Amino acid sequence: MTPTNGRDEGAVTPTAADIADVVAYMRVCRKEVDDALERLLPATTSAPLLATEAMRYSLFAGGKRLRPTLTLAAADTISPSGALGARNLVFPAACAIEMIHTYSLIHDDLPSMDDDTLRRGRPTSHVVYGEGMAVLAGDALLTEAFRILAVYPETDDATLLARKLRVAARTALAAGAVGMVGGQVIDLDAAGQVPAQAGSHGAPLDADTLRAMHERKTGALIGAAAAAGAIMVGGTEAQIQAVDGYGSALGLGFQIVDDILDVEGGSDALGKTVGKDAAAGKPTYPSMFGLDESRRLARAAIEQAKAALEQGGLGGRLSGIADWVLARGH
């Protein structure tokens, strides 16, 4: 998706109170997700203690919990009555997607990938546990995520089983070679980290490829997270497609803002090393377009996300989260 226009003249600029309301909602969702994750991955399991400890070290390191919040927000938007039974349907998918996101961070931080030593305000997994254990912790989180998608919520209802299967398939597509893994492949190849004999193209990223990389690395799982909530509460096909399109555009906007914050932010606020992409010569939106144009492109992506919601007759919390993505400072 290529954002081509600037701010819609009819768009309403959110107020500070609007953003504060979204932040408060996200805080509640984060607490609910953390509680659910604690139940699904307790400190004591039948796995070796070191494995559980390494998994939990990264999973409970903090973070915005944006992806599971989107799962909950999609459910709240489509089922605004907030019935407890409907809300509980989505917690397993929300937690599974957060586990997949955490696995991807562990692996992205490895010396063979982005070689980062700081994540969510503390040393990365491989710094604490060693590279081998970090790989295994990521593998375990990814595998556990799909076990959770397969098992929970426990039901014999054919309709719910079909929804669970659809969420698992949609999540796998977003996490695999078409999605996150594919985006990281583009990133490694562009950074010259793939040997020529292995088929590296080694060509510099152009604007379209940079956008495709962001859509895969970030947008794919964010889209799946939102779609999972819509699917699990029984949204119509039009609603599911609208939420999925919203999430993909939101993910692109989120990553462009991330690129901007990597230039303008600070390590204390962001909880990770800033300026590292620029130092490594990696292409980003600011390096390719400059800060002003990057801000315009981020706005256009967020407007595209909100337009997708409007086409499905939706808005609510999802629309507010889109505003927050554009306004966030960390």
Tens-place pLDDT, residues 269-293: 455 555 566 555 677 899 999 999 9
61: tokens are 């390191």
pLDDT (average), residues 245-259: 94
Question: What's the structural domain count of the chain?
Answer: 1
Find the domain containing 32 and state its range.
16-327
Distance CA 127, CA 119 (A): 11
Greatest Cα pair distance in the chain: 58
* Structure tokens given for 302: 């967020």
HSE at residue 259, side-chain half, CA atoms within 13 A, is 28
- Judge whether 8 lies within some domain: no
* In-domain check, residue 128: yes
4 inside domain: no
Q: Which residue has the higher pLDDT, 237 or 269?
A: 237
Reported as a pLDDT band with limits 50, 70 and 90, residue 206 is confident
User: Angle at the Cα of 25 (from 21 to 29), degrees rounded to 5?
Assistant: 170
The Cα–Cα gap between 147 and 321 comes to 29
Interval 103-143: pLDDT, tens: 999 999 999 998 898 988 899 999 999 999 999 999 999 99
Provide CB contacts within 8 A for 295, sequence distance 6+. 260
**CB neighbour list of residue 92: distance below 8 Å, 6 or more residues apart:** 36, 40, 148, 149, 151, 152, 153
DSSP per-residue letters across 176-240:
STTTHHHHHHHHHHHTT-S-GGGT---PPP-HHHHHHHHIIIIIHHHHHHHHHHHHHTT--HHHH
Q: Decide: pTM greater than 0.85.
A: yes
Inside any domain, residue 10: no
Higher-pLDDT residue of 16, 137? 137
Q: At residue 2, does pLDDT exceed 50?
A: no
Q: Which two tokens stand for residue 185?
A: 């492949």
Rounded CA separation 232/223 (Å): 14
- pLDDT of 5 reads 36
Tell me, yes or no, whether 3 lies in a domain. Answer: no
**128: domain CATH number?**
1.10.600.10
What is the residue type of 268? D
CA atoms within 13 A on the CB side of 40: 28
Q: d(Cα 295, Cα 289) in Å, to the nearest integer?
A: 10
Given a contact cutoff of 8 angstroms between Cβ atoms, the answer to whether 8 and 309 are in contact is no
CA distance 179 to 251: 12
Q: Alpha helices of 109-157 — where are they, by DSSP H?
A: 125-129, 131-151
Domain membership flag for residue 6:
no
Inside any domain, residue 234:
yes
